[in-house]
Amino acid sequence: MKIIEQYLCGKVSDDRCEDGIVTTPSFVAVIDGSTSKTPRHIHPRLRNGRYAMLLISDAIRQLPEDVSRETCIQMLSDVLYQQYGKVLSMANNNGNASSTIPAVVPPEQRLTASAIVYSDYRKEIWMIGDCQCLVDGRLYENGKPSEREHAEKRARYILAHPDDPDAPEKGRELIVPDLIRSMREGQNKQYAVLDGYPVFLPGVKTISVAQSREIVLASDGYPFLKPTLEESEQALRQQLHDDPQNIHTFLATKGLVAGNRSFDDRAYIRFRR
């Protein structure tokens, strides 16, 4: 494999970025930690999305070269589930756990991430959750089934309150209960993510790339994925300029917050087999 270009950028800052990129002689991966929907965190200093990304990144670096898709998913899930056990153990022993969690962690409180993994041995791409890729220029996506519905509801609210400078924030707050409900009803039941619990395998998309040459893996921080980093960045800059709240040309469940670099963290890597 030859890495051509890669880029990682946090929407607020790099040290708070919940996206990650992993490259090893056998794997290339992009991990997208899920934005926390509640104030309860597993790690005392890190948000759940960033902690999940860091744990999964380390686990990918330790994967056996010839690991199967199912075993890979199980190993990545296990490293998340182990963290719940540690917190429960500390709580039961009256330790200084950063937070106590129930025996079965509700989806909105879990360490949750999407990941897209290329296995050089298997010549396959595994899309676990909301991520995207280009294979010889062809786009593949694996979005959540209810995401557009929530984005449309947010957009309608903002458009209905053009004179309210707080409309974007209120629009986001309006759909947070919907996002949590969707997680409770659909997470690893209707769509796949890595959250420490059994993954909904029908929601994992597998792409054979044995006959392919050039591959781009990216998180959903790029609204319009292009064959090169500069093209993808230019498309993002145009989106942020023309439609910063993502309510017209691109619909999303969140928009650009004043002072931030973008509406979401982003990760991009292009390589040749």
Give pLDDT tens digits along the chain (273 positions).
Answer: 999 999 999 999 999 999 999 999 999 999 999 988 888 888 989 999 999 999 999 999 999 999 999 999 999 999 999 999 887 665 555 555 444 556 689 999 999 999 999 999 999 999 999 999 999 999 999 999 999 999 999 999 999 999 999 999 999 999 999 999 999 999 999 999 999 999 999 999 999 999 999 999 999 999 999 999 999 999 999 999 999 999 999 999 999 999 999 999 999 999 999
pLDDT for 210 equals: 97
Residue 247, beta-bridge partner list: 251
Rounded to whole angstroms, the Cα distance separating 234 from 201 reads: 35
User: What is the per-residue pLDDT for 168?
Assistant: 98
Return the residue matching tokens 């050039």.
214
As a whole number of angstroms, the distance between CA 94 and CA 13 comes to: 35
Cβ count near 219 (within 10 Å): 27
Phi-psi region of 224 (alpha: psi -120 to 50; beta: other; left: phi over 0): beta
**CB atoms near residue 235 (< 10 Å):** 16
pTM over 0.75: yes
Q: Which two tokens stand for residue 53?
A: 């990304």
Alpha-carbon distances of 212 from 22, 25, 67, 123, rounded to whole Å: 21, 18, 21, 9
What residues form DSSP beta bridges with 159? none
User: What b/e sequence results for 25-38 when a residue is b if at least 16 CB atoms lie within 10 Å of its CB, and e otherwise?
Assistant: ebbbbbbbbbbbbe
Cβ atoms within 10 Å, residue 82: 11
* Tokens at 40, concatenated: 């309860």
Side-chain-facing half-sphere of 117: CA atoms under 13 Å: 31
pLDDT digits (tens, 9 = 90+) for 91-127: 555 555 444 556 689 999 999 999 999 999 999 999 9
CB neighbours of 95 closer than 8 A, spacing ≥ 6?
89
At 173, is the secondary structure helix, strand, or coil?
A: helix
CA distance 131 to 237: 20
* pLDDT of 26: 98
